[in-house]
Amino acid sequence: MKRFTLLAILVALVFAGAPACTPKPRDVKAPKENVFRIAVQAKIPTLDPHLSTDVYSSQTEALFYETLYQYQYLKRPYELEPLLAETLPEISKDGKILRIKLKRGIRFHDDPCFEGGKGREVVAQDAVYMLERISAPKMNSPMYGSFDGKIEGIDAYHAGKAKTISGVRALDANTVEIRLLKSYPRFVYNFTDQKTSILAKECVEKYGDKIATHPVGTGPYKPVRVELGHKIIAVRNPGYHKMTYPSEGSRGDKEKGLLADMGKDVPFIDRIQYEVITESQPMWLKFMAGELEMSGIPKDNYGTALPGGKLSPELEKRGVVHYREARGDVTVMIFNMQDSVWGKNKDLRHAFALALNVPKIIEVQYSGQATRAHSIIDPAQYGFDPNYKSRWAERNVARAKELLAKAGYPDGKGLPPLVMPTTSDTTSRQFDELLTRQLAEVGIRLQSEAMTWPELERRTRSHNFTVLGLGYASAVPDADDATGLLHSKNIEAGYNAASYKNPAVDRLVDEIEAMPNGAARLAKIRQLKEMIDEDLPIVSMVHRIGNQLIQPWVKNHVYTDTMFLGPFLKYKKVMTSAP
């Protein structure tokens, strides 16, 4: 396992909700202030990047914290470029030593944790501290599994047997060296993940657990209001290091002319405002009233917003722009393999999968804006195979009943109900009801437990469930980002939410990660898919199609998937209505 996808949007959290409500057409004007307002559809658990697992936290953390590398805004497939680093890593011929030189002159936000309240310069020791904090014995960072067993001395440090990580050192004030136990061709991708953000040790020591609501980084924005369950407001960082807009990319017609009015320095927006809106209809009404700069489309509004798949005359007249693109994610149903009933009986899990009518779920819950998933590797990742098919992907009620009987529960008699934690929003309730009806047809009872997103995230990491539905978003465009979901060493940190243990799968995951791209690696990835399809600790459901509506006063926008919205906000621009 290399690095991992963030625990992201719930299966059901896909812009469904209460009955459709479309406001009457009216003139909507650009804001007078240079502000970008965004809805977040779940309460944000934390702003500590070394502890977060979900996409909501990652979006907001990217305003305040930065990583060594990032992806180019306009290039697809995504390409690496330096952020806090000066250049791409210098890698030894054997691939086992990486030397990363940091840019000079980049400073942390001004904050009382620094001497005199003045943010100090970022140095190589900060990158060393990032790896030490992630790997600290009691930290339990979900990111540790990305480095476990790969960096020299990191396991001893994690076990409390060493005071430093022997394979990580600052060669000078601006150069960090990382020594690996063997070559990992895509290791540098770890340092694009928001969970490897650079924090200052003195800030962590001063604020302790309060760092979760008091971010101090190098990012383009500084916090002025942090209410994790309600609203986060950030303002432009006046001391942000100079960056130029990325070079022309490969996005197609909507990219043409994108660079003409960019200027040279980022960020371009004075204030970013994230507002927690768990129901889709209030979000939609705010967008229609011009109070949000971008929005998804609730399923109940899809027909009126995009009749026949084209933007409605009303929205077109207003100048709203529609972006549609396959998302880099997969929704899944995860079994707790520690469960004494479902985790121990493969026939039960197969029966569950065969009871699902996923095409109906796509129709009802996604308004057709999704495709059937056959594995946990999504369309944005290297290793995705559109021709691969799961054996359990087509509904077969008769066969599901046969498997229930084989498992010792004919017609579901004696089978305890499946307890599924879920969020309490309207969308989740709709999905729960649909899933309950489908499973009941074969004799499987589903029992939902409603809670907030942070509580669900905690339940997931502590493996306190029987089955649950989640969505995983790509952090990097490679299968390595998904295979860690299956490695047993990631159970403790909660990333392997299924608590799945299979030594043969562990070995295969390790092999895939160490291989260069090519036919041999693709064959191994397919072999892994087939092994998981047999054990079925995770049932893959759908790959979602993203629909974004952007207000006409927003410039420099290209389709921005949920996973990358935060890091890319610095490139967007708002044309205000102020005189």
Note whether residue 572 is domain-resident: no
Say whether pLDDT at 223 is over 70.
Answer: yes
Of 75, 545, 562, nearest in space to 326 by CA: 545
**What range does the domain containing 238 cover?**
42-275
Q: What average pLDDT does range 353-376 have in this prediction?
A: 95
Read off the tokens for 373.
Answer: 């998933």
Say whether pLDDT at 41 is over 90.
Answer: no
For residue 282, what is the DSSP state?
H
CATH value at residue 530:
3.10.105.10
Bridge partners for 473 per DSSP: 6, 329
Q: Are residues 366 and 465 in the same domain?
A: yes
Show Cβ contacts of residue 362 under 8 Å, excluding neighbours closer than 6 positions: 368, 369, 370, 371, 372, 542
Note whether residue 393 is domain-resident: yes
Q: Are residues 365 and 455 in the same domain?
A: yes
Residues in the chain, overall count: 579
Q: Are residues 85 and 183 in the same domain?
A: yes
How many CB atoms lie under 10 A from the CB of residue 244? 10
Say whether pLDDT at 378 is over 60.
Answer: yes
For residue 146, what is the DSSP state?
G
Note whether residue 570 is domain-resident: no
Q: Are residues 367 and 263 in the same domain?
A: no
Q: Report cis status (omega within 30 of 0) of the bond before 142.
A: no
User: pLDDT grade, residue 564 (50/70/90)?
Assistant: confident
Give the integer Cα–Cα distance in Å for 302 and 15.
10
- The distance from CA 339 to its chain's CA centroid, rounded to whole angstroms, is 27
User: pLDDT grade, residue 26 (50/70/90)?
Assistant: low
Give the integer Cα–Cα distance in Å for 484 and 184.
15
User: pLDDT grade, residue 253 (50/70/90)?
Assistant: very low
Q: How many helices (H) and strands (E) does the chain have?
A: 16, 21
Q: How far is CA 75 from CA 462, 480, 533, in A?
A: 38, 20, 33
CATH value at residue 260:
3.40.190.10
Q: Are residues 394 and 523 in the same domain?
A: yes
Say whether pLDDT at 569 is over 60.
Answer: yes
Q: How far is CA 493 from CA 144, 350, 484, 507, 545, in A?
A: 8, 27, 12, 19, 30
Residue 64 has φ and ψ, to the nearest 5°, of -105, -30
**pLDDT, mean over the chain:** 90
Note whether residue 556 is domain-resident: no
Q: What average pLDDT does range 87-114 have in this prediction?
A: 97
Note whether residue 1 is domain-resident: no
User: pLDDT grade, residue 375 (50/70/90)?
Assistant: very high
Using one digit for the tens of pLDDT, what is the confidence trace for 283-312?
999 999 999 999 999 888 999 999 988 999
Give the integer Cα–Cα distance in Å for 567 and 576.
22
Q: Are residues 269 and 408 in the same domain?
A: no
Give the integer Cα–Cα distance in Å for 297 and 260.
29
Q: Report cis status (omega within 30 of 0) of the bond before 267.
A: yes
Q: Are residues 342 and 264 in the same domain?
A: no
Q: How does 26-65 read in b/e, with b if 16+ C-beta sit within 10 Å?
A: eebebbeebbbbbbbbbbbbbbbbbbbbbbbbbbbbbbbb
Highest mean pLDDT among 43-57, 88-102, 561-575: 88-102
Among candidate residues 240, 259, 275, the one where a domain is terminated: 275
Q: CA torsion 115→119→123→125, rounded to 10°?
A: 50
Give the integer Cα–Cα distance in Å for 340 and 104.
55
Give the integer Cα–Cα distance in Å for 232 and 364.
32
Q: Are residues 393 and 533 in the same domain?
A: yes
Give the integer Cα–Cα distance in Å for 11 and 366.
10
571 within 8 A of 70, measured Cβ to Cβ: no
Residue 572's pLDDT is what? 93
Read off the tokens for 535.
Answer: 């054990």
481 within 8 A of 389, measured Cβ to Cβ: no
Q: Are residues 96 and 233 in the same domain?
A: yes
Q: Are residues 183 and 102 in the same domain?
A: yes
Note whether residue 164 is domain-resident: yes
Give the integer Cα–Cα distance in Å for 203 and 336.
37
Note whether residue 471 is domain-resident: yes
Instruction: State whether the Cα torsion 15-16-18-21 is positive or negative.
Output: positive
Question: Domain count of the chain?
Answer: 2
Specify the range with the lowest mean pLDDT, choosing from 74-83, 165-174, 398-407: 74-83
Specify the range with the lowest mean pLDDT, choosing from 104-113, 224-233, 293-302, 420-429: 420-429
Note whether residue 531 is domain-resident: yes
